[in-house]
Structure 1
């Protein structure tokens, strides 16, 4: 592979070498079965923050890729020194990726890196689908191509109703406070409300700024969450738990009402 990355200059400087090696290793394992590799999450949305953000990557490969190859890929990528907080990589079969779906649907779900516990799941049946639906929606809207077939030719967007259901599920998950940073709970809540209002996915910080401008009552908490979000993950600021709970309850009610309105229309 003479040029492993498409438009490397468009990527954060801290990630270029790492992503180039990630693409090389993925191609080494998948060979001609590799269809596309693209960045999603904060890199795609233009809000990658070194020391805070994960690197989110979607891989699409032809269905003939074996489980043995998937395990080999997981080991090869986990051995890389990730410069970000962690790598969250999901591999889909090309036939699944080509059709809209509200399912998790992955062949490989890999988490690794300095601040993420290692996991390499090959079975999507027990995984909460909403994370994957939201990631695919962001990928289809804003995915940054790293290698192969363009995103709009390789990946179908989940339906709007599937995305809305995923938003509702994500709000409930964040409200349960299971390992989430408080600032991330608040900012994901902001993004959920802004998605319901606009039908588009924004970076967490931009969604938070939009919500703070339109809803002054939540601005103090949102501003504090943004201040924390600008710090490294290991130096996040504590937010008032009662205010966070009230905010997430308001978000949940807003999202649920949006769903009820759309289902009855």
Structure 2
């Protein structure tokens, strides 16, 4: 399996940095991973400061993976024991074949505690503090209000598959988390969306791209899909966020 080969090689490439732990979250850990379609979302905990020399070694490790299938979808954020507990800290991250800094969100932290997959070293308990229910709810509602809702005003974005797919799935997952305090998989989100009022034809379009062999979309369907998605998500997100203001 290409995924397991890539993961094993990645852990070996990091061995010179003596990582405290390497974990998987997201679809790979949740049991909803689709090889060749899902990203590989990883967290590595390094033993000491992330110095310029360490950054160079991280970039080199990722560069060595480029020959392997699926390597472009491997994303990893690098923590240390002294920085892991700070939810606002922006950590060095390799994603989309470049280095930048981002936070480890409450959703990711909850995933790691609930079903994170340990690829190497210590488990998340003891290295990451647990996330309180209110912190998780506040985050998913804020993400819908401050990121996804403004993005719906940018109509051209919604002609792209990734925005339709993630926009709908993230809304369903946020709704369940806000109402029930639990995390759900992308497959569960797709199953729930029709009951939440999402347009069935768009949900099935997303499902086919994730789990089946999708048909080549026409220009008309791409435009219709964008309109249907935006017409659904605008009032749905407004209603969700208003109930938590």
Q: TM-score, normalised by structure 2?
A: 0.80
Which residue is equivalent to 1:89?
Answer: 76
Is residue 2:189 matched to residue 1:204? no
Cα 1:205–1:92 shift into 2, 3 Å: same
Number of residue pairs matched by the alignment = 229
- The answer on whether the counterparts of 1:36 and 1:60 sit within 8 Å (CA) in structure 2 is yes
Which residue is equivalent to 1:120?
Answer: 99
Is residue 2:28 matched to residue 1:27? no
Which residue is equivalent to 1:163?
Answer: 136
Note the aligned Cα RMSD (angstroms). 2.8
Q: In 1, distance between residues paired with 2:129 and 2:51?
A: 23
- Of 81-90 and 46-55, the range deviating more from structure 2: 81-90
The Cα of 1:231 is off from its aligned counterpart by 5.0
The Cα of 1:139 is off from its aligned counterpart by 1.7
Q: Deviations over 1:109-134 (max 9, x none)?
A: 101xxxx3x2212xx4xx5x4x6332
- Please, which runs of 5 or more residues in structure 2 have no aligned partner? none
Which residue is equivalent to 1:173?
Answer: 147
The Cα of 1:50 is off from its aligned counterpart by 1.6
Q: 2:116 aligns with which of 129, 133, 143?
A: 143
Q: 1:228 aligns with which of 204, 209, 214?
A: 209
The Cα of 1:208 is off from its aligned counterpart by 2.1
- Please, which runs of 5 or more residues in structure 1 have no aligned partner? 1-12, 261-265
Q: In 1, distance between residues paired with 2:3 and 2:239?
A: 37
Q: 1:53-92 maps to which residues of 2 (within 5 A)?
A: 53-81=38-66, 82-84=68-70, 86-92=73-79
Is residue 2:167 matched to residue 1:185? yes
- The answer on whether the counterparts of 2:13 and 2:61 sit within 8 Å (CA) in structure 1 is yes
Cα 1:135–1:187 shift into 2, 3 Å: same
Is residue 2:227 matched to residue 1:246? no
Segments ≥4 residues shifted beyond 6 Å: none
- Of 167-176 and 55-64, the range deviating more from structure 2: 167-176
Q: Deviations over 1:146-167 (max 9, x none)?
A: 0001122322233333323332
The Cα of 1:65 is off from its aligned counterpart by 4.0
Which residue is equivalent to 1:5?
Answer: none
Q: Deviations over 1:214-239 (max 9, x none)?
A: 43x32513333222322579x78846
